[in-house]
Structure 1
Amino acid sequence: MDKIEKPHRWTRFLRVSSRDLFVTVVPVALALSAAIWAVLHFVRPAAPSTITISTGPDGSSFQRAAERYGKAFAANGVTLKVRPSNGSLENLRRLADPDAGVDVGFVQVGVKLPDPQPGERRRELASLGTISRQPLYILVHGAAPPDRLSALAGKRLVIGPEGSGTRVLALALLKANGIEPGGPTTMLDLDDDLVGDALEQGYVDAAFLMGDSASPRVIRSIIERPGVHVLQLSQVEAYLRKFQDLDRVVIPMGAYDLAHNMPATDLDLVASSVELVARADLHPAISDLLIETMREVHGRPFLLQRAGEFPVAREHDLPLSADARRYYESGKRWLYRMLPFWAASLADRFLMVLVPLVLLLVPVFRLVPQVYAWRVRARLYRIYGSLLELERDVLDHAAEHQAGLLDRLDAIERRADALKLPVAFADQFYVLREHIGFVRRRLTTLAGERRRAL
């Protein structure tokens, strides 16, 4: 007797239906990949490894400060590119220009861009905080110095280079006194090294100096000259009320040289602030690193400020960025307090991706098994559909078409036998087989009854 081989037990039943699993999982995987890509690129991109800062002229205090920034950034794995400029106005132009490639810059408060031209694109900007206060020295030549700016009408004035914060402030103060370019007053730009000689010899009548041009060493060397004085404004309080961003600064008697008592009296001056301005979409991690570095570089005490006085979260023309406000109120985020910058940046980004991803995966993990089961059952349901259609024909034509109906039923049974289903659906497969047998028996019974009736 020939040995009858039994079919392998996995011929019909599989652990998993690879085809259904593939068709179910691949669209979900593609959708998840697209979601992850969107989260990585739009929710919070990685912190940049290089940023660019616009400073001031070569050798200026802002350029030196930026170089110190660069050392702090390098210690955290970030490259800071330093771009010199002519001053605050040029820094502001670069920051507002989306194509200039500048991320942050030093800008004197009060410096503003003209209204944009039609079609001109400008980037949104925000302040990261005020970093210093710069007194305005108005040096005049003469035996009896005036105490009001209106007395300078018709004179020869040095007001700073084009694009500098000194020039912007000087023009604003002079305009408030009815003195504007194009009138009888001559407004000049003169090299810093020549200002002292020009004042002493009477080539110019007054000079407006701020920042690097007005360091204690420079001011001392100028006021030592005969006939040169610091103009003491009698209307300081009125200027402070009219120009809300100005501050009062008092240089104490003897502050520059105690032995020679220079200056000989207290100097009551107006001062402008300098802030670090950034593009509004600056990465939060870079914003935190900048403010931390600002505290290290600008927080030290000297003649014009106390220790820790700067940087300060003070708003002027530009709003304080949300990240800067959060830093000033609560400090660095906890990840950056616990981990090195590169590790904290990586972990921060991972968490920003993980949270929305988990929220997305929970319903997906619930849905995938249901879709997979539905696809497997759908193959059973299609056979059931054919079986139900056959059963209706059995009820109507069991006698006259028995042979044809049996052929159709055999075809349905072959389709069922050809199914490959996961083991978990074996019970439903055998129920289908029972139903096919039930229809076969019913077809035979009804066909016999009708033939006898005939």
Structure 2
Amino acid sequence: MTRTPSPPPSMPTPPPRHGRRVHARFVSISWHDFAVLVLPIIALCVLAIGLMVYWVDPAPPKHITMSVGPRDSTFWPYAEQYKRILARDGVTLNLETSDGSVQNLQRLADPKQHVELGFAQGGVSDGIATKSLVSLGSMFYAPVVVFYRGANLTELGQLAGMRIAIGREGSGTRSLALSLLKANGIEPGGSTQLLPLDGEDAVQELIQGRIDAAILNGDSASRNNMLRLQRMPGVALMDFSQADAYTRRFYYLAELDLPPGVLDLGQNLPPQTIHLISPTVELIARSNLHPALSDLLISAAQEIHGRSNVLQRAGEFPSPIAHDVFPISDDAQRYYKSGKSFLYRSLPFWLASLADRLLVVVVPLIVVLIPGLRIVPGLYAWRVKSRIYRWYGSLISIERAAMSEATPEEREELLHRLDTIEDAVNRMKMPLAYADAFYVLREHIGFVRSRLTGAPTQPVAQD
């Protein structure tokens, strides 16, 4: 009986290498990845807010100081009106007396002086550093009025050799009078006596005949003083025959006409049109004046100086025309063109100021924040998947090595590298939303392992 030979014993199947288990940590969201992406956007927004706060003006101050002039000057009643109007919006305007326009400018130009505003008539800024000063506009006329004793005089040069009151030391009247007389060849130290008399003193001296002429300007050229001298026998008001020439030689002067009867209709004073020359008084401020205060001051100026009087028509002032060296500020130009903004027309001053500054900060923040938040989901997905995809380069390298004629030692080394990759993958903290990509990677690791060990391969799911 023939015996059927038994089959040769088969080689035992080796147990799976290391018996590896999946122990990945799945989470609902990777806060680390989320923080890495969101924190830079938050930092960018904080930086944007910081820059806006740095560039945007802070809240307007509640207290400002104005250098005005003597208490008996025309400047002072105007300044008190500003004070009352600003108080309605919670701003306190402190008023300081001064000698006049020259001292006002000196205080404004001096950074050590705590003064933000001042009246200054044109033509008195010589010798003063005015680069840090701006104008909020021309507010009213300050006419040059010359009363004299004698025959018909129409030119300042005809006053040569006389006794002339030109204003007190430090006053705008004196500074302007010296400039005009110098243009006519009359200077201190000559045969003409230039006396430091102003206002009531100059009027009294002229009435008493102790001086021959008085150059009145601004406060001195009040309607009462002009009427008083017009009615005085032997005293006449100079009609500037060269008024047009003065306005061309002196950029800060304007020609101003007094029509017949404007001072007194009943007595028809003056009896004929008188041609005068006049600087304008400007409201001068430091260039760092808060924009909200600039708007508030010009609004007050329209209320105070917008009415008609013997020297101006209604609506002629305030005017955005600079008659001296001071440029009109950017904020003033904006206000004269478009007036108050919607917020300041609709809300109380302080609430409008707060809303205005918040808008300047919030709008750029929204512009930065919305696009930043829109790209976060895409960046988050890319960051999470990149942790998975970065292993595929190593897997491809191991698979290519497995397809070559590798020695057992080389295959063992490749398996060790594959174990390292699998351990690293299993330790990853993976959001549940990306579990499919995680398990596809594990299948690919198993596929490469089978190529190394020669075990049958299973179809790998496609990602």
Name the TM tier (shorter chain).
0.7 to 0.9
Q: Within the alignment, does 1:110 sit opposite 2:94 as a pair?
A: no
Match of 1:373 in 2: 381
Contact preservation (8 Å) 1:247, 1:271: yes
**Structure 1 position 296, deviation (Å):** 0.6
**Which AA in structure 2 matches 1:232?**
D
C-alpha distance in 2, partners of 1:63/1:421? Answer: 77
Choose from 157, 166, 176 the match for 1:150: 157
**Structure 1 position 294, deviation (Å):** 0.6
**Structure 1 position 336, deviation (Å):** 2.1
Q: Percent identity?
A: 49
Contact preservation (8 Å) 2:252, 2:279: yes
C-alpha distance in 1, partners of 2:90/2:27? Answer: 53
1:341-374 alpha-carbon deviations (Å, 9 max, x no partner): 2222222223322333333224322343343333
C-alpha distance in 1, partners of 2:91/2:207? Answer: 48
Match of 1:434 in 2: 443
Q: Which deviates more from structure 2 when the two are superposed, residues 35-44 or residues 370-379?
A: 370-379
Residue 400 and residue 354 in structure 1: after superposition, are their counterparts in 2 closer, same or farther (change >3 A)?
A: same
Residue 71 and residue 168 in structure 1: after superposition, are their counterparts in 2 closer, same or farther (change >3 A)?
A: same
Gaps of 5+ in 2: 1-22, 457-463
Structure 1 residues 218-297: aligned runs within 5 Å: 218-223=225-230, 227-252=234-259, 255-256=262-263, 267-297=274-304
Q: Determine helix, strand or coil for the equivalent of 1:212.
A: coil
1:193-248 alpha-carbon deviations (Å, 9 max, x no partner): 32233223343332211122222223344555554433333433433444354333
Contact preservation (8 Å) 2:198, 2:216: no
**Structure 1 position 395, deviation (Å):** 4.4
Residue 115 and residue 398 in structure 1: after superposition, are their counterparts in 2 closer, same or farther (change >3 A)?
A: farther
Contact preservation (8 Å) 1:171, 1:180: yes
C-alpha distance in 2, partners of 1:258/1:115? Answer: 43
**Structure 1 position 62, deviation (Å):** 1.9
Q: Which deviates more from structure 2 when the two are superposed, residues 414-423 or residues 35-44?
A: 35-44
1:69-98 alpha-carbon deviations (Å, 9 max, x no partner): 122222223333333332222333333445
Q: Which deviates more from structure 2 when the two are superposed, residues 194-203 or residues 33-42?
A: 194-203
1:310-365 alpha-carbon deviations (Å, 9 max, x no partner): 21232323333333333333322222222222222222223322333333224322
Choose from 353, 361, 375 the match for 2:369: 361
1:413-448 alpha-carbon deviations (Å, 9 max, x no partner): 22212111222221211111111111221111189x
C-alpha distance in 2, partners of 1:412/1:237? Answer: 96
Q: Determine helix, strand or coil for the equivalent of 2:124.
A: coil
Choose from 396, 408, 411 the match for 1:399: 408
Larger radius of gyration between Structure 1 and Structure 2: 2
Could you tell me the TM-score, scaled by structure 1's length? 0.83
Structure 1 residues 35-184: aligned runs within 5 Å: 35-43=48-56, 45-114=58-127, 123-140=131-148, 142-144=149-151, 146-184=153-191
Residue 254 and residue 42 in structure 1: after superposition, are their counterparts in 2 closer, same or farther (change >3 A)?
A: same
Residue 102 and residue 377 in structure 1: after superposition, are their counterparts in 2 closer, same or farther (change >3 A)?
A: farther
Gaps of 5+ in 1: 1-9, 117-121, 448-454
Residue 382 and residue 234 in structure 1: after superposition, are their counterparts in 2 closer, same or farther (change >3 A)?
A: closer
How many residues are matched? 433
Match of 1:27 in 2: 40
C-alpha distance in 2, partners of 1:168/1:189? Answer: 11
Could you tell me the TM-score, scaled by structure 2's length? 0.82
**Structure 1 position 132, deviation (Å):** 0.7
C-alpha distance in 2, partners of 1:123/1:80? Answer: 24
Choose from 344, 348, 351 the match for 1:336: 344
C-alpha distance in 1, partners of 2:407/2:90? Answer: 85
Residue 403 and residue 11 in structure 1: after superposition, are their counterparts in 2 closer, same or farther (change >3 A)?
A: closer
C-alpha distance in 2, partners of 1:312/1:191? Answer: 28
Match of 1:327 in 2: 335
1:71-126 alpha-carbon deviations (Å, 9 max, x no partner): 2222223333333332222333333445544433222123333375xxxxx64443
